[in-house]
Amino acid sequence: MVRRIFAYVFITATVVIIVLALTQSPLPKGPGVELVVTKCQTCHGLEYLTDSAGISREMWAETISEMEEYGMEIEPQERETILNYLATYLGPHPPSEADRSPHSSKSRNRTIDAAELYRQSCAACHQAQGEGMGRLAPPLAGNEMLLKDRRYALLVVLHGLEGEIEVGDRTFDGQMPPMAHLRDEQVAAIVNYILTAWGNDQRRPTDFAPLSPEDVTKARSESLTPQQVWEYRRKLR
């Protein structure tokens, strides 16, 4: 009986601490923030994370690995969730405040400028004309793999991509971070823009149909990792 009471008190206290931490947290809201607070605040203040805001996905991955070496216990799926959160909301290109409130009437009714959305979210690496950048970001213009399977293009934008790939006669080993913070209609707009711009509309399959927000909703529910998207790409060859 005493043990049950102690366990109840301990669990209740833990829940209260987590709720208070989330209420007072300096971290932006987003998928995975609760796990970040629970795991990271065990050893240090959350200011450590906000002070590091702006670093790349690779650097956040190294930071998590260092924390594991110091004794942080974390499951593989938890690691992926934390990394996706940090890379998205505390990475080089965090979403705007409006994008963090996807269900507000303002965000739902706003007209989407797909070209501008691409410029804000993708052009820094893939460039304005979709030509890509060095070995970091492959070209999107004339990218046969993207045009071959629109679902693949959707999965890359939504869930990210990690692993060496070949586009044409070039090899790329950069990492594409997930863009899951974007609303379903925004993701659909970006993918449709990429598959239409820079002459891609002349290379698409004859049965091509634009993606809808409902297509994105379905793909989002799969919760794939960037490595799983890479496996999906490999099977397309």
What is residue 16's predicted lDDT score, i.e. its pLDDT? 39
Domain(s) of CATH 1.10.760.10: residues in the chain: 104-236
- 161 - beta bridge partners? 176
Q: Which residue has the higher pLDDT, 99 or 134?
A: 134
User: What are the pLDDT digits (tens) for 40-71?
Assistant: 876 777 887 888 888 888 889 888 998 888 77
- In degrees and rounded to multiples of 5, residue 221 shows phi and psi of -70, -15
pLDDT of the residue at 158: 92
The mean pLDDT value for 92-104 works out to 64
Q: 104-236 domain in CATH 1.10.150.20?
A: no
pLDDT at residue 138 greater than cutoff 90: yes
**Does residue 92 carry a pLDDT above 70?**
yes
Segment 43-48 long-range contacts (CB within 8 Å, at least 24 positions apart): 43/67, 43/70, 43/72, 46/21
For residue 104, is pLDDT > 70?
Answer: no
**Selection from 67-71, 79-83, 153-157 with the highest mean pLDDT:** 153-157
Q: Which residues contact 78 (CB under 8 A, 6 or more apart)?
A: 35, 39
Single pTM value for the model: 0.60
Q: What's the pLDDT score for residue 206?
A: 82
